[in-house]
Structures are given as structure tokens and as C-alpha cells.
Homo-oligomer: A and B are copies of this chain.
């Protein structure tokens, strides 16, 4: 083959989720949309807050076009970075400055840049905690490092610290966490973050290294019942925050987010410079200018999270009543449910026969579970219960 086999493989293998989604569309054409219960995709269904589209219209009217659509500096407009710092400082009582932020094209870019910046050797490792977002594997490998998986704590979906400690070693460059979590919906408690910070401090000292926490948190604002999501930089200095506005502002296709490198991090300015360098090396030039400028006005807004909460409550109650074992999510828009047989892939196949499209969590590193995405229409959830009932009856 004339091309890289690795790249060919990545590009030609459709993700299982995408396959399922395409199947759902085909099936809907056959039997009617109302008879297919597609819980596969994690696309926000809440519209962007009105501020976003209003501000975009204002900017295109009021700002000089050359400035509005022109290159920003590679790290992002100073005004945007200042607005991000101000918002976080106000919300979390932190003391960030504009120069701690590098604006990116969303969390996938943020993560890729962090891995690329921190990888210095082919033996370097990043660790993540199952269940985890499978693209971490792709990004870490592309940076030339290795991803190690800590098996899930299937009771509370916090961190199995013994299992994590056993996997930390002198090659560990960072631990990737994702809270609120895709796919489990769990939020790491303050206690979990504190224990993680203690463990990494101890092991970094023991190895004579600095193990970073890379916190991937696009779902930070999607939480229910007043649950708090601790701001990780307050618990551990060597933290890189990878954020995206995809979910909070319902803008997943626009690609806007940031990497935050706090002053307290080890060799903070070197890390920041290496992230800038990685941006250059991967062909990122700047985060989209119009959306950077929009942020200055709209930061702190969110879509109506209450709609997700209604769906969560409806689905949790309905499935629990039917006898399913569900983990009640504190955040994100996914419910994690125990499959009715050990093989979750086989369970999902049977679900498909009832026109229920569920995602097996095998690829998320959590066999025996399925992910049910509830950023869907409430009426579809209502209609789906009879299919869930039929599925249950088969076991």
C-alpha cells in the first residue's frame, strides 16, 4: 500500500458507534423513525444558548471583517484568554492569568497537544481509568507513547487506587481522567481527587519524576442535583486541563476549547511552550477566530441542562422498575447499565433485534456494561420502555 497502514486502518475502520447510528437510520427508513430507539450517539440535543447566535450576528455586523475573521495569535486572542481566566477565577476562586491558556480546536486537539508535548521517549506511558473514551488510545499512540488502562471500579465508578498504583512507573508521564465521565456518567468526588493527588505526589517523589494529571472535562457543566466537580488544579500542581465548549455551549461541530497550564505546574512555561510547538507541528494555526470572539461575550452560559436531567430521571426510573441494574449518573448525558449477560456485545445484538440501539462498553474498557446516551427526545425514551421490557423477558 502506498500509504501508512496505521493511518489507513484508522481511517477505514468505522467506529462501532457510528456503524450503529448508520444502521439506525437505515432501519428507521424501513419501519419508521418512531419505532427505532437510538441511544447510540453523544451529540448534544439542547440548542446553544441564545447568546451564542445573537453574538455571532452582532459580531458579523459590528466588527471589521478583516479583524473578525483574521488570524489570531497561535495561543488565541488575549481578550478571549483573559475572559476564560476571569470566568474560572470567579467560579472556582483560582488565580489564572491569560497566559496560562492556549486556545484549541476542542478537547481532542487539547489532548493531542498535551500528549505530543509531554512525550519525550518511546517508552513513555499515559494511564487512564476504565471506562474511558476509546480515542485516547489513538491520540496517545499518535504522540508516540503507550496507553495503559486501569480496570474499572464497577461499583462507584471512582478510581481503583490499588490497581492504579500497580501501574504507575518511572515511564508514566501522565494520568488521564475524565469527570463527568463518558461513558459512565460518574463524577469524581473531592475525596477521589485528593487521593489521586496524594498518590501521584508520593509516586512522583519515589520515581524522581513529575506525573501529570491530564483532566479531560468537556462535561464539567453538565451535572445534576448540585453535584460539585472539584477543580483539579486546586488539588494537584502538575495538572493540565483539557476543556471544550462542545457540550456546555452545544457547539460540538465548531471546535473550540483550551489547554490550561497553571503556573504551579512543574516547568510551567516550558510545558506551555511545548504545547504551542505541538500546535505548530500538528498543523493547528489558531482556534476559529469568530468563536474565540463569541466566547468573550458568552462564557459562563450553558444550554438548558435541565432537559438532560429530565431524561436521566425518566430513564433511570423506568429501567430500574423494569429490573435493570443502572448506575445513576451525576453528570454528562450517559447512563451505564449492566448487560443481562456477561457478553455485552451479544446483549447489544439482542437489543438491536428489539430496535434498541445501545453501545457495548467493551471498547470503553468495561466489559459487561452498555452505554445509553440520553441526549435524545424524551418521547423516544417513553416509547422505548416496551422494547426494554421485551428485551428483559428474553433473559
A residues within 8 Å of B by Cβ?
A: 1-12, 43-48, 52-53, 56-57, 60-61, 64-66, 69-72, 105-106, 108-113, 116-120, 135, 138-139, 141-142, 210, 250-255, 266-267, 270-286, 288-292
Contacts and interface: CB of A to CB of B under 8 A. Distances in A.
A112 B252 contact: no
Contact of A283 (B46, B72, B112, B250): B112
B6 A255 contact: no
Copies of this chain held together in the complex: 2
A277 B6 contact: yes
Contacts of A65: 47-48, 52-53, 250
A377 to B, nearest CB: 11
Contacts of A288: 253-255, 288, 291
A57 to B, nearest CB: 5
A69 B135 contact: no
A7 B255 contact: no
B284 A108 contact: yes
14 contacts: A2-B210, A3-B267, A6-B281, A7-B277, A11-B277, A53-B61, A57-B57, A65-B250, A69-B253, A71-B252, A109-B283, A109-B284, A255-B285, A255-B286
Contacts of A138: 280-281
Contacts of A56: 56-57, 60, 290
A64 B48 CA distance: 10
B285 A106 contact: yes
A282 B283 contact: yes
A254 B10 contact: no
A47 B57 CA distance: 17
Contacts of A43: 66, 70-71
Contacts of A255: 105, 285-286, 288
A282 to B, nearest CB: 5
Contact of A12 (B250, B253, B273): B273
A8 B254 contact: no
A10 B274 CA distance: 7
Contacts of A142: 281-283
Closest CB pairs A-B (n = 3): A253-B289, A11-B277, A112-B283
B69 A7 contact: no
Contact of A69 (B70, B106, B251): B251
B2 A267 contact: yes
Nearest to A256: B288
B61 A10 contact: no
Given A11-B276, A43-B66, A112-B282, 10 more contacts: A2-B266, A3-B118, A11-B273, A46-B66, A53-B60, A53-B65, A105-B283, A105-B285, A135-B280, A141-B281
Nearest to A249: B69
Nearest to A279: B11
